[in-house]
Amino acid sequence: MLTFRKLASVTEGSLVQFVQDWPVLDLLIDSRKLSQPVGTVFFAISGKFNNGHKYMAQLYAQGVRQFVVEEQEASELVSYHPEANFLQVKSSLAALQAVAAWHRQQFKVPVIGITGSNGKTIVKEWLAQLLTPDELVVKSPRSYNSQVGVPLSVWQLNEKHTLAIFEAGISQPGEMEKLQHIIQPTIGIFTNIGSAHNQGFVSVEQKIEEKLKLFTHTDLLFYCADYPQLHEAVQASGIPSFTWSRKSKKANLAISGTTVAGAKTIVVYTYQGQKQRLAIPFTDDASVEDALHCLAVLLYRNLSLADIQNRLDKLHPVAMRLEMKEAINGCYLIDDTYNNDLAGLSIALDLLASQPQRNKRTLILSDLLESGVPEEELYRQVAALVRVKKVDKVLGIGPTIQKHAEAFPGTGTFYSSTAAFLEQFKADAFRNEVILIKGARVFGFEKIVQAFQQKVHGTMLEVNLDALVHNLNFYRSRLTPDTKLMVMVKAFAYGSGSFEVANLLQFHQVDYLAVAYADEGVSLREHGITLPIMVMNPSVDSFSKLRQYSLEPEIYSLELLEQFLLESAGAPASIHLKLDTGMHRLGFTENDFEQLFSMLHQYPQVRVVSIFTHLAGADEALHNDFSTQQIATFRQLSEQVEERLGYKTIRHALNSAGIVRFPEHQLDMVRLGIGLYGVEATGNEQEALQSVSTLKTTVSQVKSINKGETVGYSRKGVAAEAKTIATIAIGYADGYDRRFSNGVGEVLIRGSKAPIIGNVCMDMCMVDVTGLEVKAGDEVIVFGPQLPLVELAQKIGTIPYELLTNVSARVKRVFFAE
Ligand SMILES: *Cc1c(COP(=O)(O)O)cnc(C)c1O
């Protein structure tokens, strides 16, 4: 067993404080995911966006007694934490990786390592499923394939497992070698190589070269020889290989034909001189390729044809999505369709635990698909997880979990099947709770999700939380380490859903939030948001609310200040001063200063936490001179203010466009807005951001009209020839701008563009689908990655901000992550 002293030798660190040689049972890198302090070692990693050393005091208070720290941080910490072991290393991340590599070496089992541009996760999940009848498999949870994900995946390996399958993903040279040391695969799969230009690499060849480093010591590498650059590189590397190909008869597995038959693809192939056929239960190219990799592995393992077919038949698409949405009776649903195994459950429970908006947590859980672990042991572990993750109520569905009901004393209610649950379902039994729905696919939990759904109105705004995080990190990467980040979540987080976005930002530890009105701040507080919040437009009658909810007003005029000071009546308060440097909207000017300081000096308990200004034209290069002039004025005025106040404040000026355009003027903080939501306002770096929101609706009806007939109000849509039109369920009351009428706007249906015909109505509009195959119920994309907001805004002479914030409240928001 690994103990702390051994950990020191494995990581070549030095024990700066040693209390006792405790066992090392769990590796923790994210303080929020602590489940069991005893046996946990916290690795304080200082990354680009955060520094783990900040959370050590809190973890110590929670009972953690084993810490790995980096040199520069160590000495001070020790004296405050007398009862803990401290190991000092050069890099905590490298130490984590070293521990995982050491752990891997303790096991002799075959390990399959998977890399490639696409399909890693699916091939991994499918292989695990296909090999489970013969093996006890451990695999990476979800897409844990990064420099931290891989060590945590490998750490799960234990003496019961007979096969491990881990995926590895890299974004720049140098990374794969590290992952190779940790995974030490004995068998490799290289799924494919995308030709897309990759930021971290100079060429596709370099990318292949780098990825191949995962396989330097494998006994056998499976890959598709139809990628010429990949094929060449593998052959040159001398790594023993098993190839499959649709083109070359020389491949170990030669595919001579694939034909779609209904929902299946019939594969004809030759292996070891024998021609055979098999059916794969998918028809799309990506799934067929992923399944062919799996087929190659199964053939290599000498499974019989009947056995292979039998196992392939049971393959199902890997759901890699998690959705969050409002539900009945003030409940909130987390619908997690990832595979239902123990590692996946643990991750989902972390997410449940990080939802502060309702104070009750419910888990609806099916039987787990965990091979090999004895049932009793498995459900004991589930029950332990449920306890440490503070779930209040467990509804177990399925014969196996029901059988182990006694593992969940006091918290559990059990049902033999989904049907049995639905039969007894009473909506009233659920109120103001967060409900995690986690079921293996065969249990058909989508029916349960439906039972919890609110009104189903076909129009929805899908918000991609992964894209939000990507964009957040893009802007963070532009900041100097000491610059604080305020994020604007005004106007319902630019239409994207204020609470969910705020909660994500809280999780990712931004420094400040800002809203326009007190009510928005109150609502965030009521949903459990504890970050500091600035209110930009506080009204006098909201001042008591501000105090009650610890919201901090922006003060922009002498009148407002006077009223605030009177109302505050000597109570301590934090305020933000807005200076007008040329926007001419809100803010103090130099003329106000004498009065401003004399008022503030009378109320020393009212503290100015920040001073800021807003740029009028940061998005346009045309106004660069004006912007820099504004910043110069601000620097000078804010200095004056700080001098007169006699203390330092947080000074900030840049919005999203400013962050990109004026990196030298970050001051103490920046205010990120539209960029988080996927629009790069200067237009110079749009490709670096990901599209966050997709507005979707459905086709209500399709009809044919004759030449000369008209469509919609005022008979504006005139058919110059016979047409097929579709009525779609979105109108200006949903936020679909009426200026899109008469061919200005277009939507996407089954990947084809369909222009608006006639005027946009209140709740609907009509689109021209002549020549397209469209039927009632089809999904319609109004905007999204394929129909960028920036282009739509241009068509009607407005800005993306307006389109985003106009999506009306009646449009349901669905949040998802992959
Ligand atoms: C909305 C707003 C921002 C954010 O602007 P973006 O262009 O969306 O980045 C920053 N500061 C103030 C004062 C704002 O009102």
Assigned domain for 321 exists: no
403 and 443 housed in the same domain: yes
Length of the chain: 818
- Residue range(s) defining the domain that contains residue 61: 4-92
Assigned domain for 318 exists: no
Compute φ and ψ for 475, nearest 5 degrees.
-70, -40
Ligand 1 centroid, distance to 363 Cα (angstroms): 39
Ligand 1 centroid, distance to 798 Cα (angstroms): 17
What is the set of active-site residues? 490, 713
Instruction: Please state, in angstroms and rounded to a whole number, the distance separating the CA atoms of residues 456 and 403.
Output: 36
pLDDT at 359: 82
The radius of gyration computed from the CA coordinates of the chain, to the nearest angstrom, equals 29
Using the 8-state DSSP alphabet, how is residue 784 labeled?
Answer: B
Q: Which two tokens stand for residue 542?
A: 């909201």
Counting ligand 1 atoms within 8 A of each CB, the residue from 671, 790, 802 with the most, and so the one to mutate, is: 671
Beta strands in 523-682 (DSSP E): 533-535, 551-555, 573-578, 606-612, 650-652, 669-672
**Residue 504, C-beta contacts closer than 8 angstroms, at least 6 positions apart:** 465, 468, 469
Give bridge partners of residue 669 from the DSSP assignment: 484, 652
Angle between helices 305-313 and 285-300 (to 10 degrees): 140
CB 607 within 8 A of CB 574: yes
Assigned domain for 735 exists: yes
CATH classification at residue 9: 3.40.1390.10
pLDDT at 46: 86
pTM over 0.75: yes
**Domain end: 688, 723, 745, which one?**
688
Angle between helices 175-183 and 204-212 (to 10 degrees): 20
300 and 396 housed in the same domain: no
pLDDT at 454: 64
pLDDT at 457: 61
Give bridge partners of residue 812 from the DSSP assignment: 460
371 and 419 housed in the same domain: yes
Instruction: Please state, in angstroms and rounded to a whole number, the distance separating the CA atoms of residues 675 and 173.
Output: 28
Instruction: Please state, in angstroms and rounded to a whole number, the distance separating the CA atoms of residues 74 and 76.
Output: 6
**Domain end: 283, 313, 343, which one?**
313
Name the H helices within 569-609.
Answer: 593-602
Instruction: Please state, in angstroms and rounded to a whole number, the distance separating the CA atoms of residues 673 and 671.
Output: 6
**Domain end: 639, 672, 688, which one?**
688
CATH classification at residue 560: 3.20.20.10
150 and 67 housed in the same domain: no
pLDDT at 197: 57
CB 782 within 8 A of CB 729: no
Counting ligand 1 atoms within 8 A of each CB, the residue from 612, 655, 660, 689 with the most, and so the one to mutate, is: 655
CATH classification at residue 220: 3.40.1190.10
Q: Which residues of the chain are under the pLDDT cut of 70? A: 49, 196-198, 370-372, 454-457
pLDDT at 73: 73
Atom 4, ligand 1: which residue's CA is nearest? 673
Q: Which two tokens stand for residue 408?
A: 């969940």
410 and 473 housed in the same domain: no
Assigned domain for 99 exists: no
681 and 705 housed in the same domain: no
524 and 619 housed in the same domain: yes
Which residues form the pocket of ligand 1, taking CB atoms under 6 Å from any ligand atom?
Answer: 488, 536, 614, 655-657, 671-675, 681
274 and 357 housed in the same domain: no
Q: In what order do the strands lie in the sheet with 66-70?
A: 14-17, 85-89, 66-70, 40-43, 26-28
Positive or negative: CA dihedral 234, 237, 238, 240: negative
Atom 10, ligand 1: which residue's CA is nearest? 655
Assigned domain for 102 exists: no
Atom 13, ligand 1: which residue's CA is nearest? 614
pLDDT at 155: 96
Q: Domains in the chain: how many in total?
A: 5
CATH classification at residue 698: 2.40.37.10
Ligand 1 centroid, distance to 670 Cα (angstroms): 10
Task: Tell me how crowded residue 232 is: count the other CB atoms within 10 A of its CB.
Answer: 13
**Residue 485, C-beta contacts closer than 8 angstroms, at least 6 positions apart:** 475, 476, 479, 510, 511, 512, 669, 670, 672
665 and 546 housed in the same domain: yes
Positive or negative: CA dihedral 728, 733, 736, 737: positive
484 and 576 housed in the same domain: yes
pLDDT at 371: 63
287 and 166 housed in the same domain: yes
185 and 253 housed in the same domain: yes
Ligand 1 centroid, distance to 789 Cα (angstroms): 18
Assigned domain for 64 exists: yes
pLDDT at 455: 59
- Percent above pLDDT 70 for the chain: 98
